[in-house]
Amino acid sequence: MAPGTQGCKVLSGDLTSPFTGEHVDFVSGVQTSADVQIDHVVALSDAWQKGAQNLDADQRTEFANDPLNLLAVDGPSNSAKGDGDAATWLPPATDFRCEYVARQIAVKHRYELWVTDAEKNAMDRVLGKCPDQPLPVDSVVPEPSDTPAAPPSPQPAPRVPEAVEPVAPAPEAPEAPAPPAPADLYFSKCAEARAAGLAPLYAGQPGYRAGLDGDGDGVACEPRR
């Protein structure tokens, strides 16, 4: 078993990509593993530009691995999306766009990230066609209780955050060298990606390169066993 897989690795499977509605027959391999990728619904680079630079390392790790922000999709669509936000990229499957935008809003709300004017306008246009679209159920953290939990009720329609143009934070004396600009993310070894809270790295996303992907499955710097 390859290092970092914790004794478990998906060898094959079927996926209907929510981005396209098309079926993918997945087979693990050097040339085929990238056919299915794990998308960050709010891209890491987009998040960094809109508030994530103010999160500490533990919060960035939580953000990068939060199931609310992870979605299995077809590789070509994930590569086409890149670090795009709702203003620059939407899923080709139009019937998934309402759910997709609602999920982006839920993630940005959870981590207190902002949106630009163009992004807000794009979200408004999408949600204007589905005003009753609820937020994802797991975007609401339940209060602890000793009584059995009631079945989840539909969540209110998402409210598009107020647009805020990115503003650079006030300079502080850093304890360590500042991370590189998102567009130029480069890690010479996996320890650097883990220290930045951005591991694992997926093919097509900032920071990924084949030299860090020991088993060639499209996922670099996987968790250590």
pLDDT at 167: 54
In angstroms, the CA 92 to CA 95 distance is 9
156 lies in some domain? no
Q: Look at the chain and report how many structural domains it folds into.
A: 1
Q: Are strands 201-202 and 219-220 parallel, antiparallel or unpaired?
A: antiparallel
41 vs 85: CA distance, rounded Å: 9
| pLDDT per residue as tens digits for the range 188-223 | 788 887 777 787 877 777 777 888 887 777 788 887
Mean pLDDT score, 147-151: 48
27 in a structural domain: yes
Range of the domain at 110: 12-139
- What pLDDT score does 144 carry? 41
Q: Looking at the domain assignment, is residue 67 inside a domain? A: yes
Q: Is the peptide bond before 144 cis (omega within 30 degrees of 0)?
A: no
Q: Judge whether 42 lies within some domain.
A: yes
Q: 79, 98, 75: which is closest to 26 by C-alpha?
A: 75
Q: Which residue has the higher pLDDT, 223 or 126?
A: 126
Quick check: is 132 in a domain?
yes
pLDDT of amino acid 175: 52
| pLDDT in the model for residue 187 | 75
Report the pLDDT value the prediction gives residue 4, as an integer from 0 to 100: 62
85, 126 Cβ separation under 8 angstroms:
no
d(C-alpha 105, C-alpha 124), whole Å: 11
Backbone torsion region of residue 4, taken as left when φ is above 0, otherwise alpha when ψ lies between -120 and 50, otherwise beta: left
Average pLDDT, the chain: 82
